[in-house]
Amino acid sequence: MKFKDVYAPLKDLPCTEESQCRVLYDWILKMRPAECLELGFLYGKTSCVIAAALDEIGAGHLTSMDLTLVLDHQGNPNIHDNLAKVGLADRVTPVLSTVSYTWELKKVIEAQSHGNVCEPKYDFVFMDGAHFWETDACTFFLVMKLLKPGGWILFDDYMWSVDTSDWWHKAPEMQDKPKDFRAERQVERIVTLLVSQHPDIETVLVRDNWAWAKKRDDAQTKKTPTVFHLTKTIAMDWLRQKLHLN
């Protein structure tokens, strides 16, 4: 589906603006990621844009996660309505969580784990959800387990802070938070302190309010530690030796 055809029925929805949706669409067309994951869909605007690009290629799938409560937002059609409107429901699997996408990612890691190895699943992950350090620092490490070597993560709202967010700066639960927490650009901190320092990340590109990160083509997925589950019958001498206490 062409960009103008998917964007026209969505143009009045809030969040990601047209120029960014266009970059996202063009990037999908160029890079052809087969398995995509979106964290934070709200009304499904960017989900529809990603799905339209996959449809244009003729291959690929998007899994998109958000909280169950977004289905009941008043005033705007929800993700199911919007996907039906553009005729792209078969390209997207919405995952609704009553907890958090970090909990849903735990389930994906379980499904992908065999023995002591988690088989990566996704070629592209679009992170546009919580933006808070507490959630998305953890999310980044979960996503790294599931991202294939050579895959990309796109972080939206690089400049986001509680103080500059129209919605969050008024939220009752933010009023007792320390000044530095409210002022901090928390996505920028994640990108600078975690993503850019990660040994499996090859490139980080920051442009305007977005940060793109590429996982190394040669990132190791199979090198894992040996894990021992010990019973009480194991001799204490053996354990002391393993712990380098002798």
Ligand X SMILES: C[S@@+](CC[C@H](N)C(=O)[O-])C[C@H]1O[C@@H](n2cnc3c(N)ncnc32)[C@H](O)[C@@H]1O
Closest residue (Cβ) to ligand X? 40
Distant-in-sequence, close-in-space partners of 19: CB < 8 Å, separation ≥ 6 = none
Write out the two tokens for 235.
């001799």
Closest distance between ligand X and the C-beta of residue 68, in Å?
Answer: 9
Closest distance between ligand X and the C-beta of residue 3, in Å?
Answer: 15
Distance from C-alpha of 108 to C-alpha of 103, rounded to nearest angstrom:
9
Closest distance between ligand X and the C-beta of residue 156, in Å?
Answer: 7
C-beta neighbour count of 122 within 10 angstroms: 21
Smaller CB distance to ligand X: residue 40 or 60?
40
Smaller CB distance to ligand X: residue 62 or 195?
62
Closest distance between ligand X and the C-beta of residue 103, in Å?
Answer: 8
* Positions in the binding site for ligand X (CB under 6 A): 15-16, 40-42, 45-46, 65-67, 70, 97, 100-101, 128-130, 135
Distance from C-alpha of 50 to C-alpha of 65, rounded to nearest angstrom:
14
CB 151 within 8 A of CB 124: yes
127 strand-pairing partners:
39, 155
Smaller CB distance to ligand X: residue 154 or 195?
154
203 backbone dihedrals φ, ψ, rounded to 5°: -140, 140
Smaller CB distance to ligand X: residue 15 or 89?
15
CB-based burial of residue 160 (10 Å sphere; 0-12 exposed, 13-18 middle, 19+ buried)? buried
Smaller CB distance to ligand X: residue 39 or 219?
39
Q: How many CA atoms lie within 13 A of 75 on its CB side?
A: 5
CB-based burial of residue 119 (10 Å sphere; 0-12 exposed, 13-18 middle, 19+ buried)? middle
Closest distance between ligand X and the C-beta of residue 218, in Å?
Answer: 31
Smaller CB distance to ligand X: residue 161 or 219?
161
Closest distance between ligand X and the C-beta of residue 126, in Å?
Answer: 7
